[in-house]
Amino acid sequence: MQKLKLVVVGNGMAGMKVVEELLKIGPDLYEITVFGAEPYPNYNRIMLSPVLAGEQKFEDIILNSLGWYEENGIRLHLGKKVLRIDRQRRIVEAEEGMEVEYDRLLLATGSSPFILPVPGRDLDGVIAYRDIQDTEKMIETAEKHRHAVVIGGGLLGLEAANGLRLRGMDVTVVHLASWLMERQLDRHAGKMLQCELEKRGLKFLLEKKTEALLGNEGRVCGVRFSDGGEIPADLVVMAVGIKPNTQLAESAGIHCNRGIVVDDTMQTFDPKIYAVGECVSHRGTSYGLVAPLFDMAKVCANHLAMMGIGRYAGSFTATKLKVTGIDLFSAGKFEGDEHSEEIVLNDVAGGVYKKITIRDGKIVGTVLYGDTVDGQWYFRMLKEGQDIGEIRGNLMFGQSHLGNAGHEGRVQASSMTDDMEVCGCNGVCKGTITKAIKEKGLFTLEEVRKHTKASSSCGSCTGLVEQILASELGGGYSPKTSAEKPLCACTEHTHADLRKAIREEKLLSIPEVMAFMNWKTQNGCSTCRPALNYYLISTWPHEAMDDPQSRFVNERVHANIQKDGTFSVVPRMYGGITNPEQLRRIADVADKYRVPMVKVTGGQRIDLLGVRREDLPAIWSDLDMPSGYAYGKSIRTVKTCVGTEFCRFGTQDSTGLGIMLEQAFDRMWAPHKVKMAVSGCPRNCAESTIKDVGIIGVESGWEIYVAGNGGIKAEVSQFLAKVKTKEEAMEYSGAFLQLYREEAYYLERTVHWIGRVGLDYARSRVAEDEENRRALYQRLLYALSGERDPWKSVVERERKPLFESLMVEA
């Protein structure tokens, strides 16, 4: 097949991100030609401030080396401007009479700094702050001259000012508004920032309008304001805003309105021409931060690859200043109006100011200064439009879960030194993460996980890693929420999309789902296959195909894999009750198979550890007890206390209800593991308050609590309902679990699911709607009916290829 010709105008971050994505999903579709106006390969523009501040070198911030272009067969024309697009002949004309044909054209022309139309703007020493050349000029000037004036007290201006100050210059920031970063900060936070920067030696002139730049022999020597005042200047940096580069598109007659107008597929008004990045206007908005550009790039690559799915629906953006040691964060509409309320914390001496703006029970904006730990959390709630009614009282005090276990209780990444451990599971230090972000050009949590393994196991340090990303990338970092994230790299679809399609289209096998949803890979991967398998069997019990090869090893061999490749065996003991006969059999098995360790588990069971795979079927046969499902995303155990049978304080028969629950819900697969407990009185000896479903007996009945968690992040369960009888307790618990089974995403514990949908939702579906509760409960019982014990099934099978090895003589 003849390759199509793709021409990319613009060799910056947005354009190259499209090319990178395109090479991933449609590597052989196009012959690619790239034009770049700058004489450098693609570099990380948001890292210019650290280069200016002397914290990094230019080589460190190159994203795609010249070798990369060559390896991927991309024709690269550096330092060559594209002058004209001939849409009739589908040709771009560049400098020196060069002409290149295209089938598809991608405009990623970026933006230019806005230069104030004042006399003297052409003088030597007057520059903008946009690219590496500007940066080098600033570094060079700092060596020879003394007075720098930065016009513009926004994000870019302050980063420039800080860098010049660190390079030893005497820096004055001139700003038109009455406080700094007025578009991102309210007056109070703006003043705190100014105060901090003044301590670092910067000077500020606010509410000053620049009238002229004064020159001496062609070089700038001062700045004059409209009030007549003058200050000396050897260098003037204009940082008063950017404007999208649309000249090329406009000259070709492509519709522009401040930016190049694109639709949700990043297509311009000419269907052969796409545009991404700072040069576009999407739904009337232009973006100057990197996260939206990357979202655009993904969508654009998808359409260029002719997959035709994915839409860009605009981005919420948050701001963070990249000045070492200053923490500020802002997002959304933080300036209130008559319809909004504000929660404010103002600790002047401690240098902390937080404001959350709320409208109709939802966060609409936030400004944080001095303590930005919870910025990403607030931002996520803002983006998701989460109702904050229930947590309003605690909102200001933050999420406080970060690093609960394994990080010495640290919640602030900025206070950590490079040699401190961030990820306790994989032993990754802060320095390793920052180094990888800088050297490998990482932008997302997933990339950090892949490259460093930090936050890729238990995830308790995710908050810390996100903070590190945010502080390294500044405005470049924008966390995705699980609701909008594709399931994995094999698909564009989210968990919610897939659940919906499986339900509505009645898809019954993994190949069917993959075909219907246009999977990008033939066999999926180890992330999507287990998720799809669960969605299928939970949505269509007794009908969908359960695919053992799409299950994690533990569920495939019905035992828990250990670090040395051996397995552990935990037989079921309903309600934690056993008897001498069972114990004798367990002891005999442990002797006969020389089981290296016998341990009592946290869920009141007995664990036989260190069993070889080959011995599993024989052990199960000798035990003659049901599988305890200690290995599965399934019901684990129902922990119980002694209850009325023997306990002098017991008010209810907790062991009886525990056994009933465990027998009824045995063999229940779920999005993640499910732990339950029943306590016979409010002393709560079975620890019901940290379980997915925890029940507490009181004199007048049973209280049902849900969505607790005792692991990485201890979470106390929340009250769902109070019932009178054991039967009602069964129905409420079962209905809650079925709702979780039907609606949660794979690998989402009840606590995270409830965090996402809200307890009120679960209450309305389970506690308050009797008909729905019954229906849910019936669906659960139907799903579980006829499920066979997995150990018994294996034992009865004649051939056991999963467990037997093939022997060879050599």
Partner 1 sequence: MENWIKVCELEDIPQLGARVVKGKSCEIALFREGDRIYALHDKCPHKGGPLSQGIVSKGRVTCPLHGMNIGLEDGRAISPDEGCTETFSVRIEEGAVYISL
Q: Pick the stretch among 276-284, 370-378, 518-526, 580-588 that binds partner 1 (CB under 8 A).
A: 518-526
- Cα of 282 vs its chain's centroid, Å: 24
If binding is defined by CB under 8 A, does position 504 make contact with partner 1?
Answer: no
- Beta bridge pairs of residue 203: 172
- Contact between residue 776 and residue 738 where contact means Cβ atoms under 8 Å apart: yes
548 is a site residue for partner 1 (CB under 8 A): yes
Closest distance to partner 1 from the beta carbon of 115 (Å): 42
**Residue 403 near residue 410, CB atoms below 8 Å:** yes
Least distance CB 142 / partner 1 (angstroms): 37
Cβ contact 319:292 at 8 Å: no
Nearer to partner 1, 199 or 563 (CB): 563
Q: What are phi and psi of 128, to 5 degrees?
A: -105, -175
| Pairing assessment for the beta strands 341-347 and 421-423 based on DSSP bridges | unpaired
Using rule CB under 8 A, residue 577 touches partner 1: no
User: Does 450 contact partner 1 by CB under 8 A?
Assistant: yes
Q: Which stretch binds partner 1 (CB under 8 A): 342-350, 398-406, 547-555, 678-686?
A: 547-555
For residue 801, state whether it binds partner 1 (rule: CB under 8 A). Answer: yes
Q: Are 636 and 603 in contact (CB under 8 A)?
A: yes
Range in contact with partner 1 (rule: CB under 8 A) among 377-385, 553-561, 640-648, 785-793: 553-561
Residue 621 CB: number of other CB atoms within 10 A? 14
CB of residue 695 to partner 1, shortest distance in Å:
34
- Count, residues near partner 1 per rule CB under 8 A: 33
Tell me if 530 contacts partner 1 by CB under 8 A.
yes
| Residue 806 in the binding site for partner 1 (CB under 8 A) | yes
Q: How near is the Cβ of 808 to partner 1 at its closest, in Å? A: 5
For the purposes of burial, counting CB atoms within 10 Å of the CB of 144, is it exposed (0-12), middle (13-18) or buried (19 or more)?
Answer: exposed
* Cα four-point dihedral sign 277, 282, 288, 294: negative
Which residue, 557 or 784, has its beta carbon nearer to partner 1?
557
Residue 575 structure tokens = 């309600």
| Of residues 508 and 757, the one with the C-beta less far from partner 1 | 508
CA distance 212 to 149: 13
Instruction: Specify the stretch interacting with partner 1 by CB under 8 A; choose among 107-115, 515-523, 633-641, 767-775.
Output: 515-523
Dist CA 796 CA 563 (whole Å): 29
What is the 8-class DSSP label of residue 723? E
As measured in angstroms, the least distance from the Cβ of 482 to partner 1 is: 19
Q: In this chain, which of 96, 581, 771, 809 binds partner 1, going by CB under 8 A?
A: 809
- 96 interacts with partner 1 by CB under 8 A: no
Question: Shortest distance, CB of residue 450 to partner 1, whole angstroms?
Answer: 5
**Out of 417, 522, 579, 785, the residue judged to bind partner 1 by CB under 8 A:** 522
Chosen residue from 133, 285, 346, 521 binding partner 1 by CB under 8 A: 521
Are residues 481 and 380 in contact, defined by beta-carbon separation less than 8 angstroms? yes
565 touches partner 1 by CB under 8 A: yes
* Subset of 589-628 contacting partner 1 (CB under 8 A): 613
> For residue 288, how many C-alpha atoms fall within 13 Å in the half-sphere facing its CB?
13
Residue 437 in contact with residue 472, Cβ under 8 Å?
yes
Shortest distance (Å) from residue 805 CB to partner 1: 4
Rule CB under 8 A: which of 107-146 touch partner 1? none
Contact predicate 481/384, CB 8 Å: yes
Binder to partner 1 among 550, 568, 651, 717 (CB under 8 A)?
550
Pick from 408, 504, 564, 771 the residue near partner 1 by CB under 8 A.
564
Work out how close the CB of 204 gets to partner 1 at its nearest, in angstroms, rounded to a whole number. Answer: 44
Closest separation in Å from C-beta 801 to partner 1: 6
Q: Which helix (H) or strand (E) holds 369?
A: strand 362-369
DSSP string, 660-693: HHHHHHTT-B-SS-EEEEEESSTT-TT-GGGSSE
**Cα–Cα distance, 580 to 601 (Å, whole number):** 18
**Which residue in the set 405, 508, 553, 577 belongs to the binding site for partner 1 (CB under 8 A)?**
553
- Site for partner 1, residues 250 to 269, rule: CB under 8 A: none
Q: How far is the CB of 309 from partner 1 (least distance, A)?
A: 20
798 binds partner 1 (CB under 8 A): no
Closest CA to 777 of 737, 744, 735, 741: 735
Q: Encoding tokens for residue 291?
A: 């996260």
The CA distance from 228 to 224, in Å, is 6
Kindly write down the DSSP assignment for every residue of 399-459, as one continuous string: ---TTTTTSTT---GGGS-TTSEEETTTTEEHHHHHHHHHHHT--SHHHHHHHH-TTSSS-
Beta strands 147-151 and 104-107, pairing class: unpaired
Q: How far is the CB of 806 from partner 1 (least distance, A)?
A: 5
590 or 611, CB closer to partner 1?
Answer: 611
- Tell me, residue by residue from 226 to 255, as one string, x for binding to partner 1 by CB under 8 A and - for no binding: ------------------------------
The answer to whether residue 526 forms part of the interface with partner 1 (CB under 8 A) is yes
Contact range with partner 1 by CB under 8 A, out of 20-28, 145-153, 375-383, 552-560: 552-560
- Minimum CB–partner distance for residue 425 and partner 1 (Å): 9
Least distance (Å) between residue 521 CB and partner 1: 5
**Distance between CA atoms of 278 and 318, rounded to whole angstroms?**
16
We find the least distance from the C-beta atom of residue 497 to partner 1, in angstroms, to be 21
Which span sits near partner 1 by CB under 8 A: 208-216, 221-229, 551-559, 726-734? 551-559
- The answer to whether the beta carbons of residues 721 and 768 sit under 8 Å apart is no
Residues found in the chain: 810
Decide whether 785 or 805 has the Cβ nearer to partner 1. Answer: 805
User: Is residue 88 part of the contact set for partner 1 (CB under 8 A)?
Assistant: no
Q: Which of 144, 199, 339, 563 binds partner 1 (CB under 8 A)?
A: 563
- Rounded to whole angstroms, the Cα distance separating 322 from 491 reads 34
71 counts as binding partner 1 under rule CB under 8 A: no
Q: What is the DSSP string of 742-803?
A: HHSPTT--HHHHHHHH-HHHHIIIIIS-HHHHHHHHHHHHHHHTTPPPHHHHHHH-S--TTT
Q: From 64-72, 520-528, 709-717, 789-797, give the range in contact with partner 1 by CB under 8 A.
A: 520-528
Q: Give CA–CA dist 721/728, Å, rounded.
A: 10
Site for partner 1 contains 177 (CB under 8 A): no
100-124 burial, b at 16+ Cβ within 10 Å, e below that, comes to bebebbbbbbbbbbebbebebeebe
Q: Is 545 in the site for partner 1 (CB under 8 A)?
A: no
Say whether 318 sits in a helix, a strand or coil: strand
Q: Which is nearer to partner 1, 327 or 472 (CB)?
A: 472
Closest distance between partner 1 and the C-beta of residue 789, in Å?
A: 22
> 89: which 2 tokens?
């002949």
Residue 676 bridge partners (DSSP): 638, 693
Out of 508, 525, 598, 714, the only residue in the binding site for partner 1 (CB under 8 A) is 525
What binding mask, one character per residue, do residues 455-474 give for partner 1 by CB under 8 A, x or -?
Answer: -xx-----------------
Q: Is 1 in the site for partner 1 (CB under 8 A)?
A: no
Ramachandran quadrant class, 309 (left: phi over 0; alpha: psi -120 to 50; beta: rest) = beta
| Nearest distance, CB of residue 23 and partner 1, angstroms | 15
- Residue 557 binds partner 1 (CB under 8 A): yes
Cα Rg of the chain (Å, integer): 31
Q: Which stretch binds partner 1 (CB under 8 A): 233-241, 469-477, 560-568, 724-732?
A: 560-568
- Residues making contact with partner 1 (CB under 8 A): 450-451, 453, 456-457, 521-526, 529-530, 548-550, 552-554, 556-557, 561, 563-565, 613, 801, 805-810
